[in-house]
Structure 1
Amino acid sequence: MKVLIVHAHPDPASFNAALKDTAVATLRAQGHEVQVSDLYAMGFKAVPDAEDFTDTRRDPERLQIDVEQEHQYETGTHPPDVAAEQAKVEWCDLLILQFPIWWFSMPAVLKGWVERVMSRGFAYRRGRKHAKGVFLGRRAMICCTTGTSAATYAPDGIEGDIQHLLWPVNNGVFHYLGFTPLPPFVAFAPRQATDEDRRELLDAYAHRLRRIEDVEPLYFHPREDYGPDQRLLPGVEARSGFQRSPRAPHRPAAPAEEHSDERGPEKKIEKKIRADVDSAASAATS
């Protein structure tokens, strides 16, 4: 299997970098081929603008990014940095996005990578989205870190369900482009963890990757669940992400811990962190 890891963290000593390095070592040990796009190290240009379209323009008077990207695809005039990344995407069977959750989303440089690389024409076009997406038959996965605990990202947590938070990537990027989204691997609050806890998280990620070809994908409604207006049909129970059908009961997507068996180490870490916090609070008030 060919794996592309797109890594978006500025610190080579970060836990995100450790997750990326773990993935590279584990996957190669399993016989897979791996390429890494380290966006900060590459100095990747994150902003699509007029500089991306200096060779030729479909409309010299107005800059419509998607229109000009499609024109680039048709004329083979993508900027060299974009073309190089698109070649990696075409090469891979599995795409992994590695990033920290910043402001409830991916870092700007990674969002810019999506906007410039997954361009109209190349990654999607009229009639080639979701169940008919360009990258059907390939898989994609998020590996990310958070600043706060798993409890805060639980379905009843103050930050909201992590599965909902990641829906714009799992659905709006992966599924939209035809990839089969796999359950995310989320390392909750690694800065609050001990060295032993962080090692257990890395081991859990390595375990996930060693069986990556057998991991069950996230649930997405098939095309036949939708009507001609692209809304869920009456009587179809909404089961994924932010979707809700007013015309049928709603059963929300399973929380993150139900998507994988790696939650054991993470739950253990969460309990230890909460115990440390409670102990510190008790000492502070005594």
Structure 2
Amino acid sequence: MAQRTALIVYGHQSSGSFNAAVLDVAVQELTEQGYRVIVSDLYAMNFRASATRDDIIGDLKNSELFQYGEETMHAWMQGRLSDDIVAEQRKVEEAELVIFQFPMYWFSVPAIMKGWIDRVLTQGFAFSLEKIYDNGVFKDKKAMLSFTTGAIETMFRSDGINGDINVTLWPLQNGTLHFCGFEVLAPQIFWSPAHCPPTVRTTMLEGWRIRLKGLLEEKPLTFAPCELFDCSFQGGFMLWPKVREERELQPYGITTGHHLGKSVPPDNQTKAQPTNEK
């Protein structure tokens, strides 16, 4: 049987950080499971965050108006993307599992990791109009977020000062990972490790190690399937009227983003739902 590959996209500056310890646990545990583990250490690589003209080798399709998405799609089709992008795309192609390891900055990923997302997940390579969401390019791969917070957990509850963590995670998990077709596993959240005693941090790392042992057997998060929508320009990519009617009597919306003016389904972006729940 071919060896499985895991890619960890890592975004922290310090080798002495808790994020580094989390990374070490993942590399060790996945390697013990027989994975070939690839780590893209973005700061060590001095990975360039800015999406610019330099990402395209050779002439532009439209030299008068530079449109990054359009130009990188054509460059990808013609094998003219910069070497650093191509190297990362090859890693993604090889991996069955992609883990993003980072400290949460401003309710999102650090700039260097956002740059990886912007530059590596180019149109054509990671998505097309026909290949998005559950029909996406990476539908046979799994991905997940693993991150630390400065805030304590109660601050990210629906009645906490930062608001619901499920809402915070929606753009990354639905708008990036699920959009590209990944099966998205529940995030691994390390709440405020900088303010925890060493014993608690040790317990956090052990919990991560235990989870990694059964990670690929986990049920992924639930998202709204494309079949619920009229995926045409004429239909505006909106819910079919019949689907909306059927949801009127339900207590919750479909997902965190497709709330339909109702309560958001509990833990929609943080926990896999029971098999009988849509």
Q: TM-score, normalised by structure 1?
A: 0.86
Q: CA–CA distance in 1 between the matches of 2:67 and 2:263?
A: 38
Structure 1 runs of 4+ off > 6 angstroms? none
Aligned residue among 178, 181, 196 for 2:199: 196
Greater helix share, 1 or 2? 1
Q: Give 1:252 shift.
A: 2.1
Matched, 1:229 2:232: no
Q: CA–CA distance in 1 between the matches of 2:17 and 2:126?
A: 31
Q: Do the aligned residues in 2 keep the contact of 1:154 with 1:255 (CA within 8 Å)?
A: no
Q: Give 1:182 shift.
A: 0.5
Q: Which letter does structure 2 place at the counterpart of 1:212?
A: L
Q: Look up the match of 1:205.
A: 208
Q: Look up the match of 1:244.
A: 259
Q: Look up the match of 1:80.
A: 83
Q: Give 1:190 shift.
A: 0.1
Per-residue CA distance 1:13-51 (angstroms, 9 max, x = gap): 111111111100011111112100000000001101122
Matched, 1:24 2:27: yes
Q: CA–CA distance in 2 between the matches of 1:257 and 1:70?
A: 32
Q: Give 1:225 shift.
A: 2.1
Q: Give 1:214 shift.
A: 1.2
Per-residue CA distance 1:184-233 (angstroms, 9 max, x = gap): 00000000111110010001111111001111111111122223433333
Q: Look up the match of 1:254.
A: 267
Q: CA–CA distance in 2 between the matches of 1:203 and 1:52?
A: 40
Matched, 1:131 2:134: yes
Q: CA–CA distance in 1 between the matches of 2:150 and 2:270?
A: 18
Identity %: 36
Q: What is the DSSP-based 3-state SS (H/G/I as helix, E as strand, rest coil) of the residue aligned with 1:166?
A: helix
Q: CA–CA distance in 1 between the matches of 2:68 and 2:202?
A: 43
Q: Look up the match of 2:190.
A: 187
Q: CA–CA distance in 2 between the matches of 1:167 and 1:150?
A: 17
Q: Look up the match of 2:276.
A: none
Within 5 Å, give how 1:122-201 maps onto structure 2. 122-201=125-204
**Unaligned 5+ residue runs, structure 1?**
261-286
Q: CA–CA distance in 1 between the matches of 2:259 and 2:25?
A: 37
Query: Relative to 1, partners in 2 of residues 1:154 and 1:259: Cα closer, same or farther, differing over 3 Å?
Result: farther
Q: What is the DSSP-based 3-state SS (H/G/I as helix, E as strand, rest coil) of the residue aligned with 1:96?
A: strand
Q: CA–CA distance in 2 between the matches of 1:182 and 1:150?
A: 20
**Unaligned 5+ residue runs, structure 2?**
274-278
Q: TM-score, normalised by structure 2?
A: 0.88
Q: Which letter does structure 1 place at the counterpart of 2:222?
A: Y
Q: Please, what is the CA RMSD of the aligned residues?
A: 1.7
Q: CA–CA distance in 2 between the matches of 1:156 and 1:239?
A: 21
